[in-house]
Structure 1
Amino acid sequence: MMLKSDNLLITEISEEDSSEILEIYNSNKRFLVTHLDKSKLDQDWLIEELEKMRKMNYKTFKIIELSSNRVIGFIDLKLHEESYLSLLMIHNSYKSKGYGKEAYALLEEHFRNEKVRNVRIDVVYDYDNSVMQFWVDRGFNKVKNIQLQWDDQYLGAAMMKKAL
């Protein structure tokens, strides 16, 4: 998959992208503490996480800002008739500039072209209210409350879906 807009390029990551993906994770300190109970991640954690995701048929894509040719975010997803968007993360320095909205718009266009019928996301409670609002603004609706497990953490979350 390769998606492009005037500002962004979304394409599958390669091994050479791991340091940039790690930097994006580590730029989001509040996310790390809330979701993983860690203040910083290392390369070993990232390699293990990416391998776990691959084994579960997830793909990871980098988000490149075209004007700087810099990786500013990444996406983890599983593409099916009901696709699961596990994570869309933007580097903290690039937040609130519309990149998340633009990246999701590109993804949704791709989903529609691939005949995806529904998109599911899980939004962790007690993290950041603006994240929930971001997804509501994209047309997602809460389906139910769930317990989400990531590493050793169990997190209360809202399962949200959007019909396409």
Structure 2
Amino acid sequence: MFGSKRLYASLIKEDDLEELYEIYISNKDYLQLTERISDGIGVYTKEQMLRDFQVAEWMGRKTLGIYMRDNMKLIGVLEYMERAVDGNPWIGLIMIHNQYQSQGYGSEFLKSFLCWAQHQGWNEIRAVVITIEL
């Protein structure tokens, strides 16, 4: 689909679902915020992830896997919609497996996604942001 020096993007396939689940449960802070749970393992099940994945598809959202270019290992996910309710494209989620965070993969991938989006003719992209109160 598109890529960068270290990364490649492709739509998530059924074969990727086990690795996709590992990405979700590796991000305990995200699960705590979105699922209101303290520990994703054993609480946020694979079935819940599959349900969320199916709902996203029904709503027209696309889920891209973020793969390492050298070995095609799935290390992250980006969810987007080409045309939301307001008619604009938006990014709903970008998540990198916790073992690969703070290595520039998220920024690198987002830059390549934005370049790809520009080639698609998108003049602007909206992003969903989760906020927390401290």
The residue type equivalent to 1:16 in the other structure is D
Give 1:118 shift. 1.3
| Counterpart in the other structure of 2:95 | 89
Distance in 1, matches of 2:131 and 2:49, equals: 24
Name the SS of the counterpart of 1:97 in structure 2.
coil
**Percent of pairs with identical residues:** 26
Are 1:31 and 1:127, in contact at CA under 8 Å, matched by a contact in 2? no
Distance in 1, matches of 2:46 and 2:91, equals: 23
* TM-score computed with the length of structure 1 as normaliser: 0.73
Are 1:25 and 1:32, in contact at CA under 8 Å, matched by a contact in 2? yes
Query: Deviations 1:54-76 (Å, cap 9, x if unpaired)?
Result: 11000101000123421000111
1:79 aligns with 2:82: yes
Gaps of 5+ in 2: none
1:124 aligns with 2:130: yes
Give 1:127 shift. 7.4
Distance in 1, matches of 2:2 and 2:50, equals: 25
Distance in 1, matches of 2:95 and 2:17, equals: 14
Which structure has more RCO (C-alpha within 8 Å, separation ≥ 6)?
Answer: 2
Distance in 1, matches of 2:88 and 2:8, equals: 24
| Counterpart in the other structure of 1:63 | 66
| Counterpart in the other structure of 1:34 | 33
Distance in 2, matches of 1:21 and 1:122, equals: 20
Match of 1:100 among 103, 106, 129: 106
1:48 aligns with 2:54: no
More strand by share: 1
Name the SS of the counterpart of 2:89 in structure 1.
strand
Gaps of 5+ in 1: 129-164
Distance in 2, matches of 1:73 and 1:88, equals: 7
Which one is further off, 53-62 or 72-81? 72-81
Q: Which structure 1 residue ranges, 4+ long, deviate > 6 Å from structure 2?
A: none
Give 1:4 shift. 1.6
> Number of paired residues?
127
Distance in 2, matches of 1:84 and 1:73, equals: 18
Name the SS of the counterpart of 1:82 in structure 2.
coil
* TM-score computed with the length of structure 2 as normaliser: 0.89
Are 2:3 and 2:109, in contact at CA under 8 Å, matched by a contact in 1? no
